[in-house]
A and B are shown apart, each in its own frame.
Chain A
Amino acid sequence: MASAHSRMRCGEFRTTYQADMTIFPTPLARRVAVVSVLLLLLAPLCLDAYYLNLLIQIGYYGIAALGLNIVVGFTGQISLGHAAFFGLGAFASAWISNNSGIPVFFAIPLAGLLTMAVGLMVGIPAGRIKGLYLAIATLASQYILEDFFARAEWFTGGSAGAMASPFSIYGYEMNSDKSFFFVVLFYVVVMFIAGANLMRSRDGRAFIAVRDHYLSAEIMGINLNKYRILSFGISSFYAGIGGALFGHYLGFVSAEGFTLILSIQFLGMVIIGGLGSVMGSMLGTIFMVLLPEVMEFGVHLVGSESTALTQALAYIKEMAIGLAIILFLIFEPDGLAHRWRMIKNYWKLYPFSY
């Protein structure tokens, strides 16, 4: 009978629907998540700036990656313009806090909403076109926004870039790695819980239904246009929040960072992590952020004297990312989240793994 309960750990029985509708698939998963967050709360005490910086990067990119996963992984559409929305969030939050006297604390969610509004507009063609055409349309939005960043000096500071004020609560500035880490951690926890909740409620199911079989989704009462556009909007909201955190962390936003390359890297994160998996978005981001660091470490290990190798490092990093995406597409198309489930399935029935 093991297979009938294959989604639970051995010997677990749910007696109420409430118990069966928890956000985590098993109590163990819940414990692991809670313990991880508790350990991360201690991270600023034990880790140096280098590692904190990596964790912060994983945080804001992870939020944006979850947004991209909503549109690509869950709704089955394509977006090549995610980096531009990430940038829009960064500029918007900086601009709002610099020009309106609204504190950064509120500017970040407002920037998310503004980015969402633009995302909804860009999503309008998505209601009508699919596949390659949609890819081109979102590519166009990437370039249009990039162009806007370069021209709209009032908003972005043009080629000079824009200063972004530090995050502060009650006059206490959180601009060090140690303190900003908590801000990012807070947002990661909130956004990922919200994302997981979305996917187990009405509109999240509608997204997946549109992806899996849009004709029968429509027969089930789902308005295809509305949900195709909405998923772009929500995805942009996540990108905007991630970008805003990025801006206030660096203290400075410049347009060069938000190119097509970053859009592709976001796609890499959700492909590697697992399309249509909330946790996969985080796993893929961790992978993509750490990969260049590991490459750098490796290069220094084998060839600290070889200048040729150190000089080639920049290329090696970029090629490694491309190679990772290709290898995942070939060998692990369901991503890290899937691999993780397989390992879990193996262990949870241990020793009766067959």
Chain B
Amino acid sequence: MSENQPLLQVDNIFLSFGGVHALREVSFEVRTGELFSIIGPNGAGKTSMLNCISGRYQPNKGQISFKGNSIIGLKPNDRCKLGIGRTFQNLALFNHMSVLDNILVGRHHLLKNNFLSGSLYWLSGARKEELVHRREVEDIIDFLEIAHIRKEIAGTLSYGLRKRVELARAVALRPDLILLDEPMAGMNLEEKEDMARYIIDLNEEWGMTIIMIEHDMGVVMDISHRVMVLDFGRKICAGLPDEVMENEQVKSAYLGVGFDDEVQQADEEVV
């Protein structure tokens, strides 16, 4: 991979559901180390874009390259191995598992033990391996300050905590690129501040490249390196936060309709 090559390159993506054009000729690139935000009104196609990158949806047309190789046609689990992790807009935890086990699932592709060595546990070295990964997971648990709930069952936690556990699970993948779909939706101010701090740390200290969808414009403008605006499935502009704020098209398409009441309800959609 050459120095100038972007980590993720999205080229001319089209995606439609029946008659609905969720995405139309969307192109952008994200460079290694960037904190890149996607904004736009509800239904603009933001989640669909992440779904195309993580492999949940296959675009009708267009090209997506990660680390210089096309990932179109790869299954989500294979993209995960290449280094793409994500969280979901509508929570998608393993609700009957403990917080610890949820995060350990994130280690799946890094663990080597299988059903046979796992069943033999002590005899096969699986225990030793699990222990090493347990330590890694504990580092993430400490970082995200969820040590007190590590034994709780995920489905019983508050919304804010579940969002945090989902982030922990995605971080456990040790992805190079992490996709965050509205990580602060439905949180109070204090929780949002915590979450913003985690995201900055992940980007700066843990070296993860981040694509974030977020409705809170204050946070987006504060922490993003670059911002892209989607509207009706089209990219209407991209650039530095300040440039995007000044863009006339953005003001009319997005910011005009209630810049201040951005507390929009997550619509009922498939993750």
Contact = CB atoms under 8 A, between A and B. Distances in A.
Interface of A: 4, 6-7, 17-18, 21, 23, 194-195, 197-198, 200-206, 208-209, 211-213, 215-224, 230, 234, 276
B81 interface: yes
Contacts of A18: 131
Contacts of B55: 219
A18 B92 CA distance: 29
7 contacts: A201-B119, A202-B126, A205-B105, A205-B108, A213-B94, A221-B109, A222-B77
Which of the listed residues A4, A18, A197 has the most CB atoms from chain B within 10 Å of its own CB?
A197
B86 A219 contact: yes
Interface of B: 54-56, 75-77, 80-81, 85-86, 88, 92-97, 101, 104-109, 111-115, 117-121, 126-127, 130-131, 134-135, 138, 148, 151, 169, 173, 271
A21 B134 contact: yes
The 4 closest A-B pairs by CB, nearest first: A201-B118, A221-B109, A221-B80, A212-B94
Which of the listed residues A23, A198, A216, A234 has the most CB atoms from chain B within 10 Å of its own CB?
A216
B164 to A, nearest CB: 16
Which of the listed residues A195, A198, A224 has the most CB atoms from chain B within 10 Å of its own CB?
A198
B95 A221 contact: no
A217 B234 CA distance: 30
Given A7-B151, A201-B126, A202-B113, A219 B54 contact: yes
A222 B131 CA distance: 21
A202 to B, nearest CB: 4
Contact of A212 (B80, B95, B106, B135): B95
A215 B105 contact: no
Given A198-B119, A203-B114, A218 B76 contact: yes
Contact of B108 (A7, A202, A213, A230): A202
A195 B119 contact: yes
B131 A21 contact: yes
Given A7-B151, A17-B135, A217-B105, A209 B118 contact: no
A198 B96 contact: no
A103 to B, nearest CB: 23
Contacts of A6: 151
A216 B106 contact: no
Contacts of B101: 205, 208
Contacts of B75: 218, 223
A219 to B, nearest CB: 5
